[in-house]
Chain A
Amino acid sequence: MIKKTTLLATAAAVTLGGFTTIASAETLRWARAGDSLTLDPHSQNEGPTHALSQQIYEPLISPDMEAKPIPALATEWSVSPDNPNVWVFKLREGVKFHEGQDFTAEDVVFSINRAKQESSDMKELLVSITDVRAVDDFTVEMETEGPNPILPNNLTNLFMMDKGWSEENDVVVPAEFDTSEETYAVRNANGTGPFKLISREPDVRTVLQRNDDYWGIGTFPMEITEIVYTPIQNAATRVAALLSGEVDMIQDVPVQDLQRVADADGLKVQNAPQNRTIFFGLNSGDDDLENDNVDGANPFADVRVRRAMNLAIDRDAIQQVVMRGQSAPTNVIIPPFVNGWNEELDAYPAADTEAAMALMQEAGYGDGFEITLHCPNDRYINDEAICQAMVGMMGRIGIQTNLVAQTKANHFPLISGKETDFYLLGWGVPTFDSEYVFNFLVHSTTDDRGSWNAARFANTDVDEMIQSLGSEVDIEKRNETIASIWEVIQEEQVYLPVHNQVLNWGMAEKIGFPVQPEDQPHFKFMTFN
C-alpha cells in the first residue's frame, strides 16, 4: 500500500541574495477549469498545457507576469553582427535539470529540433529556422530563412528538455496522434524550472514542489514550497471550492459570481485585460453566399453594408449587459499589448442605427436580408449571449439573423473549412506583434498563410506588404508597413470587432499576484503576506 498523502514540504531555509529567508512552508492549492493535456512540452500548443509546463520547464526567453519577455535560460540574445539571418543566444551557465543533468547548448539544439518535428504542435512557430547550432557550450546560433526580427517572440513557450534524458526514455520526438502507446514524457517531466513534478494524475491532481536548486532563487520571490493543482470543470463547484477555502486560487471566475467572491471574507478578485479580442467575421470575398436569402449577390461584398453593421453594434450595451462590465470594447482586432495597436484604432464609434440604416439603403439593402450567424457556446466568455445581443442589433437595421450556437468542436471546422459566412471568433496574439494576426486572419488563403481568413478577404497589395514584414529588419519601416496594413483593414471593415476579454482570478486575500494577460500564472512570482 502506497499512501498518496500530500507531501509535507520541507521548509528549507534558503539564505540567498535579495530574498533572504524563506522560512514558512506555503502550499498553494490552485484550480482552473481545464487540465493540462500532456506534460510533453512540444505536443500541444494550448493555454492550460503551457501554463503547467511553465512551472516545470523553461524556455530561453520567458514571459513575465505582464507578458513581457525576460531572460530565462538565455541571458542575452541579439542578431549576429556578421549575418542578419542569424540570432545568437548566450545561455545561462550552471543551470541543472531536476534530475541533475547540466543544461548546455546541446540541449537547446536538441529541443529546437524536437519542436520542429512533424508530430510537434509547436513547429509552426519555428518554420523560419533553417539551422540551429551550438557554437560552444553556452552559445547557440539560430539561422533563419531571411532575417526574422521577431524570432525571440516565438520562443517564449518553447521549452528546453534534456537531450540525454529524452534519449534514455525514448522521447526524442513528440508522440504522433496515432501512437498505440503512452510515451514517457506524457506524465513525467525533467525540466530546469522553479518547480519539480512530484505526482501527476491527469484530470485529477498534480503536485509540484519547489526546486531548491533553482537558478532564480534570489531573483524571484519563490515563496511557494508546494503547488497542488486540481482542475474543477463545473463553474459553480469551482467557486464553491474557493469560497469554502478548499483552494487558494481559481483562474476562471464566472462573471456572474465575481461580486460574490469579492464580497467573501478573506478573498479577492483581480482582473486584467486578456490577450484576446472577440470579433465577428463576414464573408466579403465570395460572389454569392450560402447562408443568406439574397440570390446571385453577396451583401457583405459591399463595404457600406459592413460599415452599417459595425455602426449598428452597441458595444457599450454588450459590455454592460452581457459582460457585466467585464470587457474592454474596441474597434480593432488586437489587444493593447500588441505591436501595431494605438488608441486611434481602438476608439470605437457609438452605436448609430439611423446612420447605419442610411448606409444600408445606399447599398440597396434598405429592406434588409436574412443571414445565418454561427457562434460557439463553450469557448469564450458568454459567447452565445454576445451573439444573441448581435441578433437583436442586426434586426434594428433589417438584417434578419438566424443564430446557430454550438460547441467549439462543431463551430471551428466551419471557419477552417470556410463554410460559414458570418461568425464569431476570438483571437489572441502570442507573439505580441501584428504580423501574427495578418498572417492568419488577413492574408489571402495560401498553403502557409490565411488559414483562419474565413472573411475571404483578398488584396494583393496587402498580401505583399504582409510578406515583406517577415524579413524587414528596419523596425521603423516595418512599423510603418504595419500601420498602413491596419489602415486598409479598418477602411475596408474586414472584421467587426467587439471587445477585448477581461481575465478574472479569484484568490485568497493573503496572496500577492497580478493577473497575467495570457492567463498564464508564473508561480515563482507569487508572494504571501
Chain B
Amino acid sequence: MISFVLRRILQSVIVLLTVGLVAFSLFRFVGDPVENLLGQERTVADIERVRDQLGLNDAFPVQYFNFIKGIVVDGNFGVSFRQGRPVADIIIERAPATLELAFVSGLFAIILGISLGVYTAINREGWISSAIMTLSLVGVSLPTFLIGILLIYVFAVELGWLPSFGRGETVQIGWWSTGFLTASGLKALILPSITLGLYQMTLIMRLVRSEMLEVLRSDYVKFARARGLSQRAIHFRHALKNTLVPVITITGLQLGSIIAFAIITETVFQWPGVGLTFINAIQFVDIPVMATYLMLISVLFVAINLIVDVLYYIVDPRLKSDASSGAN
C-alpha cells in the first residue's frame, strides 16, 4: 500500500515538473511583458535593462529552473509584474472567492442534479420530464459566457433582483474573506454559481437518470415490488443508493474542473477569484502569476487523481493482489 502511494506521488511530481516545463516553453508565444511594463516613452536601453532584470533574455529552461529554484530554495513564487506584489499574497487573497464559488456551484449541481435525475427517471413519460430533458440539452450546449450574459440580462438588468458583477460585501475572517455572512454576498453568489454549475448539473442529472433507469429494471427492484414495498422505499432506499456509486466518482473528478473552468464565469461576472487573476496575467504577460496558477491547477488535478487512485485501491481488492504478486 505504502509503496503504491509513494510510486504514485513520484509519478505526480514528474507530471508537475513536465506541466511547468511545457508552460514555460509556451510563455514566449503569449507576448512580451516589457511592452506592458514600460510606457510609450521608453528607450531601447530601458527595454534591454528590464529584460535583463527579469531574466527574459535567458532561454526558457533557464527561466523555468530559476522559477523552480525560487520555490524550492526560498519558498517564493516570485513577484507579479503587473501588480508589483508577491504572487503568493495575490493567490491567497483571491483563493477564497474561487473556492466559495466552486463550493456553492458544486452543491447546486449535486442537489439539483440528483433530484431532477431521480424525478425524470421515475416519471419517464411526463411532460415535465421531457421539458427538463430538453432544457438540460440547452444547458450542455450553450457556452458558459452566453449563459452568464443571459442571466445578467434577465435578473440584473430587466428584473433588477440580483447584482450583475462582483462579490458584494465580504467579511474577513483571518486571511479568508467570505461572502457567506452578508446578504449582498449571498445574493452575488447566485448567478455565478448557476452559470458555473449548470453544465455539471446537467451532467449529473443525465447520469443519475440513466443509472436509475438501469437499476429500476434490475431484478431486486422487481422483487422489492413483489414484496409490496412502497414506491417511495423502492425508489429512495434501494434504487437511489445503488445509483450513487458512479455519481460520486464523477462528481469528485468534476470538482477539479469546476475550479479550473471558473475562469470564464469569473471573467463574465467580474468575480475576484484566481481565474480572473489568471486572465489578467495572460493579457499582461505576467509570467510569475501564470506559472504559479498553472502549477497550482496541475497540483489540484494530480491530487484529486491521486486520491481517486488510492480510493480505488482500497475499494477494489483485485488491485491489491496485483501489486502484492508483482504482476504488471
| Nearest CB of B to A176, in Å | 7
Most chain A CB neighbours (cut-off 10 Å) among B38, B41, B50, B85 = B41
Q: Is the CB of B42 within 8 A of A451?
A: yes
Q: A2-B172, A237-B165 are in contact. Are A409 and B84 (CB under 8 A)?
A: no
Q: Is the CB of B157 within 8 A of A410?
A: no
Give the total of A residues in contact with B, Cβ under 8 Å.
Answer: 62
Q: Is the CB of A241 within 8 A of B171?
A: no
| Nearest CB of A to B22, in Å | 19
Residue B79 CB within 8 A of the other chain: yes
CB contacts (< 8 Å) of B116 on chain A: these are: none
Q: A46-B39, A177-B50, A246-B163 are in contact. Are A237 and B84 (CB under 8 A)?
A: no
Q: Is the CB of B163 within 8 A of A409?
A: no
In the complex, what distance in Å separates the CA atom of A17 from the CA atom of B43?
47
Residue B280 CB within 8 A of the other chain: yes
Residue of chain A at shortest CB distance from B34: A413
Binding-face segment, B196-204, B231-239, B267-275: B267-275
Residue A244 CB within 8 A of the other chain: yes
Q: Is the CB of B85 within 8 A of A186?
A: yes
| Nearest CB of A to B91, in Å | 13
Q: Is the CB of B35 within 8 A of A408?
A: yes
Residue A402 CB within 8 A of the other chain: no
CB contacts (< 8 Å) of A243 on chain B: these are: 157
Q: Is the CB of A182 within 8 A of B173?
A: no
CB contacts (< 8 Å) of A38 on chain B: these are: 83-84
Within 8 A of A (CB), among B51-69: 53-55
Q: A2-B172, A246-B163 are in contact. Are A179 and B79 (CB under 8 A)?
A: yes
Binding-face segment, B10-18, B148-156, B215-223: B148-156
Residue of chain A at shortest CB distance from B166: A230
| Nearest CB of B to A414, in Å | 10
In the complex, what distance in Å separates the CA atom of A377 from the CA atom of B7?
47
Q: Is the CB of A178 within 8 A of B53?
A: yes
Q: A182-B79, A182-B85 are in contact. Are A237 and B280 (CB under 8 A)?
A: no
Q: Is the CB of B83 within 8 A of A37?
A: yes
From the candidates B35, B38, B53, B83, name the one contacting A121 in the complex (CB within 8 A): B38
Residue of chain B at shortest CB distance from A45: B39
Q: Is the CB of B149 within 8 A of A1?
A: no
Contact with A along B83-114 (1 / 0, CB 8 A): 11110010001000000000000000000000
Q: Is the CB of B272 within 8 A of A181?
A: no
CB contacts (< 8 Å) of B172 on chain A: these are: 1-4
In the complex, what distance in Å separates the CA atom of A326 from the CA atom of B140?
38
Contact with B along A407-420 (1 / 0, CB 8 A): 11110110010000
In the complex, what distance in Å separates the CA atom of A243 from the CA atom of B157?
6
In the complex, what distance in Å separates the CA atom of A44 from the CA atom of B279?
20
Residue B124 CB within 8 A of the other chain: no
| Nearest CB of B to A204, in Å | 4
In the complex, what distance in Å separates the CA atom of A493 from the CA atom of B180?
62
Residue A447 CB within 8 A of the other chain: yes
Residue A170 CB within 8 A of the other chain: no
Q: Is the CB of B157 within 8 A of A409?
A: no
Q: Is the CB of A203 within 8 A of B165?
A: no
From the candidates B35, B39, B44, B49, name the one contacting A413 in the complex (CB within 8 A): B35
Residue A452 CB within 8 A of the other chain: yes
Determine the main DSSP class of A at the interface with B: loop
Q: Is the CB of A409 within 8 A of B270?
A: no
From the candidates B42, B169, B267, name the one contacting A233 in the complex (CB within 8 A): B267
CB contacts (< 8 Å) of B93 on chain A: these are: 201
Q: A201-B272, A234-B270 are in contact. Are A409 and B31 (CB under 8 A)?
A: yes
From the candidates B32, B47, B83, B171, name the one contacting A186 in the complex (CB within 8 A): B83
Residue A131 CB within 8 A of the other chain: no
Q: A180-B79, A203-B276 are in contact. Are A440 and B40 (CB under 8 A)?
A: yes
Residue A363 CB within 8 A of the other chain: no
Residue A183 CB within 8 A of the other chain: yes
Contact with B along A386-415 (1 / 0, CB 8 A): 000000000000000000000111101100
| Nearest CB of A to B285, in Å | 5
Residue A236 CB within 8 A of the other chain: yes
In the complex, what distance in Å separates the CA atom of A6 from the CA atom of B192?
23
Residue B144 CB within 8 A of the other chain: no
Residue of chain A at shortest CB distance from B163: A246
Within 8 A of A (CB), among B250-304: 267-270, 272, 276-277, 279-280, 283-285
Residue A334 CB within 8 A of the other chain: no
CB contacts (< 8 Å) of A37 on chain B: these are: 82-84
From the candidates A179, A201, A230, A240, name the one contacting B153 in the complex (CB within 8 A): A240
CB contacts (< 8 Å) of B268 on chain A: these are: 234, 236-237
Residue A512 CB within 8 A of the other chain: no
Residue B117 CB within 8 A of the other chain: no
In the complex, what distance in Å separates the CA atom of A176 from the CA atom of B84?
9
Contact with B along A124-161 (1 / 0, CB 8 A): 11000000000000000000000000000000000000
| Nearest CB of B to A159, in Å | 15
Residue B37 CB within 8 A of the other chain: yes
Q: Is the CB of B83 within 8 A of A408?
A: no
Residue B319 CB within 8 A of the other chain: no
In the complex, what distance in Å separates the CA atom of A245 from the CA atom of B159?
12
Q: Is the CB of B36 within 8 A of A409?
A: yes
CB contacts (< 8 Å) of A240 on chain B: these are: 149, 152-153, 156-157, 164-165
In the complex, what distance in Å separates the CA atom of A448 from the CA atom of B42?
9
Selected A-B contacts with CB under 8 Å, 5 pairs: A124-B41, A203-B276, A240-B165, A243-B157, A407-B30
Q: Could you list which residues of chain A lie within 8 angstroms of chain B, going by C-beta atoms?
A: 1-6, 37-38, 40, 43-46, 118, 121-122, 124-125, 175-183, 186-187, 201-205, 230-234, 236-238, 240-241, 243-246, 378, 407-410, 412-413, 416, 427, 440, 447-448, 451-452
Taking A409-B36, A440-B40 as given, write out 9 further A-B residue pairs in contact, using a Cβ cutoff of 8 Å, ordered by the A residue number: A124-B43, A178-B54, A202-B83, A233-B279, A236-B152, A237-B165, A241-B156, A409-B284, A447-B44
